[in-house]
Homo-oligomer: A and B are copies of this chain.
Amino acid sequence: MIEVNAPATMSDVARVAGVSTATVSRVVNGHYGVSARTIAQVRSAIEQLGYESSLVATSLRRSRTNVLGLVTHSFQSYTAEVLKGAMKALSRSGFDLIIYANSDLYGSYSEGWEKRHIARLSGTLTDGCIVVTPWGEVQSRTPIVAIDPVRGSTAPSVTADNLAGATTAVEHLLGLGHRRIGFIAGRSSLASAWSREEGYRAALTDAGIQVDPTLIGQGDFNPESATPLARALLQRADPPTAIFAASDGMALKVLEVAAELGFSVPGDLSVVGFDNIPEAALTEPGLTTVDQSMYQLGYEAARMLKSLVTDEWEGPRQVVLPTSLVVRGSSAPPRSAARG
């Protein structure tokens, strides 16, 4: 039976041990200048009361807390992968992790969520923060590492090689024989969205195909944003034979719309996504996508942040991780394509 009832404070311990709070603090932190006898008394009182130092009070007084923060707007599959990676990087490192996620109380406020989150945590509670897909450039007294930063940011960040990944994805479709390839873009302020669109354009251009702006739908990475865009693309008189979506979440919505409109996948339409979230493997057919290992992004971000906090970081402050194409059943040659 573990008791945390009415948490004992440091002054409770001091009273029981018959010493001052300063002495208790010294014992707790292993500082110099306490006799063995006093240490024993204090230890005993701590044991007896089940005392645990308050993270809040400690962090207010001290600057260093050995806690790193991770702030995120929403919590989705890829967020979980990031977390797993970050936890792995921090295991046995002496750093605990606090994840702060808001309840989206202020609808219109959500645009600056990272500012609020970081200000609340970074004041004193954490030694540094990882920010997942921020809306803007973020600064703070303590180090910050962005995962998937805004375009043009020069702050420390970890991101996937979105350009190469998108290029490979579109080249895959081109290799299958597709010539009219639609694209559903992500939120344009993000570097990732921009790079993925660039990859799409570059692959087409390199293949000698002129980019058709009407085949590009402007989404925002929110899965729901893809639904009307996919519908628009597929209800044209001349629908594309393939659609490349800038995220798996949006790609899954494309699959939904395709089914709804009677397009068979991959017979009538090939679909390729980006991210390789777990759900991508569960659809029927499985979603061809670009794997960017969110786990790895989380791992590297935590590793970098830890080093920045302890002032040991040596490497580049902008890390780019490789991507790889995962071919599943949602992509195939177009029905009209001549073999070879």
Instruction: Give every chain B residue within 8 A of A204 (Cβ-Cβ).
Output: none
Q: How large is the interface on A (under 10, 10 to 19, 20 to 34, 35 or more residues)?
A: 35 or more
Q: How far is the CB of A282 from chain B (nearest CB, A)?
A: 6
Selected from B52, B54, B137, the residue in CB contact (under 8 A) with A2 is: B137
Stretch at the interface among A97-105, A227-235, A239-247: A97-105
* B54 in contact with A138 (CB, 8 Å): no
Cα–Cα, bound, A87→B80 (Å):
12
* A141 in contact with B282 (CB, 8 Å): no
Q: Is residue A340 within 8 Å, beta carbon to beta carbon, of the partner chain?
A: no
Instruction: Give every chain B residue within 8 A of A218 (Cβ-Cβ).
Output: none
* B2 in contact with A123 (CB, 8 Å): no
* A92 in contact with B115 (CB, 8 Å): no
Q: Which residue of the partner chain B has the closest CB to A125?
A: B56
Q: Is residue A112 within 8 Å, beta carbon to beta carbon, of the partner chain?
A: yes
Q: Is residue A55 within 8 Å, beta carbon to beta carbon, of the partner chain?
A: yes
Copies in the complex: 2
Q: Is residue A91 within 8 Å, beta carbon to beta carbon, of the partner chain?
A: yes
Given A102-B96, A105-B94, answer yes or no on A57-B123 (Cβ-Cβ < 8 Å).
Answer: yes
Q: Which residue of the partner chain B has the closest CB to A112?
A: B2
Q: Is residue A90 within 8 Å, beta carbon to beta carbon, of the partner chain?
A: yes
Q: How far is the CB of A63 from chain B (nearest CB, A)?
A: 12
Q: Is residue A93 within 8 Å, beta carbon to beta carbon, of the partner chain?
A: yes
* A101 in contact with B97 (CB, 8 Å): yes
Instruction: Give every chain B residue within 8 A of A105 (Cβ-Cβ).
Output: 92-94, 96
Instruction: Give every chain B residue within 8 A of A122 (Cβ-Cβ).
Output: 4, 7
Q: How far is the CB of A307 from chain B (nearest CB, A)?
A: 15
**Could you tell me which A residues sit within 8 Å of B by CB distance?**
1-7, 50, 52-57, 59-60, 74-77, 79-80, 83-84, 87, 90-105, 112, 114-116, 118-125, 135-141, 278-279, 281-282
